[in-house]
Amino acid sequence: MDNKLLQLSNLIFPDLTEQDTVESLEQLFPERCLKEGSKVTRMAPSPTGSMHIGNLYGALADERIAHTQSDDGVFLLRIEDTDEKREVEGAVEKIIKYLGAFGIEFDEGASQDGDIGSYGPYRQRQRAKYYHIVARKLLLEGRAYPCFCSEEELKQAHQAQEEAKENFGYYGKWAKHRDMDVDKAIAKIQNGESFVLRFKSMGDPSKKVDFKDQIKGKLSFPENDQDFVLLKSDGIPTYHFAHVVDDHFMRTTDVVRGEEWLSTLPWHVELWRACGFKMPRFCHTAQVMKLDEQTGTKRKMSKRKDPECTLGFYFEKGYPAKSVIEYLMTLLNSGFEQWRSANKDASYKDFPFKASNMGNSGAMFDLAKFNDVSKNIIAFMTADEVYSGVCEWAEENDKEFYRMLTADESYAKAFLSIGRGGKKPRKDFACWSEVKSFVSYYYDNLFTIEEAFPETVSLQDRKAILADYASIYDENDDNNAWFEKIKELCDKYGYTSDMKAYKENPDAFKGSITDVSNVIRVAVTGRTNSPDLCSLMKVLGKDKVIERINSAAAL
Ligand code: GLU
């Protein structure tokens, strides 16, 4: 071993001893004993801000890859907290809580109660030693070197590259300290000069690297020649270096990450090889996109412009987790919708999820379509499920409504049952925050006449119809008897219950049965559109119905 190089490495890594070798790490974190074909995936968020839909999209892909068709696959959580300045307090807890609320659980990694698993620590700031061990090996093998260039020098090089129309970065003739004499480097460090540790690339961009991505398929790109930074001046690794060390020693089999990392993939390929580590499979996921309402063009979702981009939106509005997951599954895997129509009641976990079926180009998030999916999911829930979903949401977000719902549970469940069951249940709301305005007429303190009475019915007729109806309404009437009474009123006042005849010759009548029933509907519910009127009147109870009809008759 070159003594000078050893001296340099001792100066750079005073925290390491001779026993701190890559081999010792290989023993500490051995290959996992998993069944053939089982996969290890990880979510590796930086705790720097609010979670967005893209994080959940990626986490769901990771989770499904690890757990589909395998009972010992591992999905782990690694916290990439190397950027201490940008770290947001409580972000880790929030990540775990939010994903848990969507039913995404980790098998291993960072948790609310510390780390779980034997491949940790799972927070990068606690892994400094491991990065240093691998970096020292690269240094001693001539694949890393200290660089003392100041910000100013790098800026000047950037300008010069711009003028000369050359590629940006630290490479070839621009890599000033690449071949610095070891003695000189030692002297500079002893002199207290600040430095970063750079990778020494051996790549030749005139040659191509072939790469197989699980989603994108076969890729081919020029070899890397950038001497990118491995360790920053404070000894903290860059993402590029940290992910190689972590994914190797956590024995990740499938790295699922956003396609924004494709541009630096050539760096990573060369680095994985230089470290002597076998590369895992890579799945570069498409970004979540949307159609811009103003321009009509496809664009990346933005936290700033699109409220639906942040996960908080789904909690605030009260979308069931099941709806969000169901919709993301349709975005993630092309065959999901077809599978769902053949497997209506199955859990999404039974779907044979495959990375290779993930969309290659941007996944289009369409809020209207998502709302439809969610309406459908809620429509097929039982009244009990809807009641507990809406109560859970209201307890956090609308205390007054929560008190109203829980004051009489069976009453709330009775009105939530209307239109439920059967093949074509009503699709009234997409999220829990929409429930209150939909059911407000069940509560006197929320009830108002929101919509106008039908214009086709004169004030005189309206009053007469309502007064008549109050005297014949019987809450024990079944649907048929109930309807017959409305029909009678129609005939009596010159409206018709024969919709065909009405359509053919509307001028022959004052109006139709729709107008008459809407007079009653508006009186009782305050609106012209509602679930089955006969059923909802039964739930409201005779007293309330009569009281509302009488007060509408007096208007
Ligand atoms: N911390 C990186 C990010 O949030 C992780 C990328 C990866 O999954 O490798 O983008």
SS3 letters for 462-478? Answer: HHHHHHHHHHHCCCCCC
pLDDT at 433 over 70: yes
State percent of the chain over pLDDT 90: 87
DSSP state of 433: G
Q: Please state the domain extents for the chain.
A: 3-25+127-285, 383-426, 459-553
Q: CB–CB of 161/167 below 8 Å? A: yes
pLDDT tens-digit profile of 305-326? 999 999 999 999 999 999 999 9
| Upper half-sphere CA count for residue 110 (Cβ side, 13 Å) | 25
Q: Is ligand 1 within 6 A of the CB of residue 80?
A: yes
pTM for the model stands at: 0.90
State percent of the chain over pLDDT 70: 100
Q: Indicate the fold that domain 459-553 takes in CATH.
A: Arc Repressor Mutant, subunit A (1.10.10)
Distance CA 48, CA 280 (A): 26
* CATH architecture for residues 3-25+127-285: 3-Layer(aba) Sandwich (3.40)
Q: Is ligand 1 within 6 A of the CB of residue 62?
A: no
What pLDDT was estimated at residue 40? 98
What pLDDT was estimated at residue 112? 87
DSSP state of 320: -
pLDDT tens-digit profile of 155-181? 999 999 999 999 999 999 999 999 999
Task: Please count the other Cβ atoms lying within 10 Å of the Cβ belonging to residue 63.
Answer: 25
The strand order across the sheet containing 217-222 reads 217-222, 208-213, 281-285, 254-258
Q: Is ligand 1 within 6 A of the CB of residue 45?
A: yes
pLDDT tens-digit profile of 516-535? 999 999 999 999 999 999 99
pLDDT at 392 over 90: yes
pLDDT at 221 over 80: yes
Distance CA 452, CA 117 (A): 64
Q: Is ligand 1 within 6 A of the CB of residue 257?
A: yes
Distance CA 311, CA 53 (A): 6
Q: Is ligand 1 within 6 A of the CB of residue 21?
A: no
Q: Which of 56, 122, 243, 285 to mutate to test the pocket of ligand 1 (most atoms within 8 A of CB)?
A: 243
What's the gap in Å between 284 CA and the centre of ligand 1? 11
**What's the rounded mean pLDDT across residues 135-140?**
98
Residue 84 CA, chain-centre distance (Å), reads 24
Residue with tokens 């996960």: 311
**What's the rounded mean pLDDT across residues 95-121?**
93
pLDDT tens-digit profile of 347-371? 999 999 998 889 888 789 999 999 9
What's the gap in Å between 237 CA and the centre of ligand 1? 14
Gap between the terminal Cα atoms of the chain:
100
Q: CB–CB of 384/417 below 8 Å? A: no
What pLDDT was estimated at residue 293? 85
**What's the rounded mean pLDDT across residues 88-105?**
90
What pLDDT was estimated at residue 513? 93
pLDDT tens-digit profile of 469-507? 999 999 999 999 999 999 999 999 999 888 898 889 888
**What's the rounded mean pLDDT across residues 452-458?**
94
Atom 9 in ligand 1: which residue has the minimum CA distance? 257
What's the gap in Å between 79 CA and the centre of ligand 1? 9
What pLDDT was estimated at residue 92? 87
Is residue 484 classed as helix, strand or coil in its secondary structure?
Answer: helix
Q: Is ligand 1 within 6 A of the CB of residue 237?
A: no
Atom 7 in ligand 1: which residue has the minimum CA distance? 257
What pLDDT was estimated at residue 1? 64
DSSP state of 15: T
Residue 71's Cβ-count burial label (10 Å; 0-12, 13-18, 19+) is exposed
Encoded amino acid at 26, one letter: E
Q: Is ligand 1 within 6 A of the CB of residue 243?
A: yes
Q: Is ligand 1 within 6 A of the CB of residue 330?
A: no
Sign of CA dihedral 294, 300, 304, 309: positive
The region that residue 106 occupies, defined by phi over 0 for left and psi between -120 and 50 for alpha, beta otherwise, is: beta
pLDDT at 49 over 80: no
CA triple 213-214-215, angle to 5 deg = 90
Atom 4 in ligand 1: which residue has the minimum CA distance? 45
Q: Which atom of ligand 1 is nearest to the CA of 80?
A: 1
Could you tell me what percentage of the chain is helix, strand and coil, using 3-state DSSP and rounding each to the nearest 5? 50, 10, 40
The C-alpha R_g of the chain, in whole angstroms, comes to: 33
Q: Which of 239, 246, 283, 303 to mutate to test the pocket of ligand 1 (most atoms within 8 A of CB)?
A: 239
**What's the rounded mean pLDDT across residues 207-224?**
96
DSSP state of 106: -
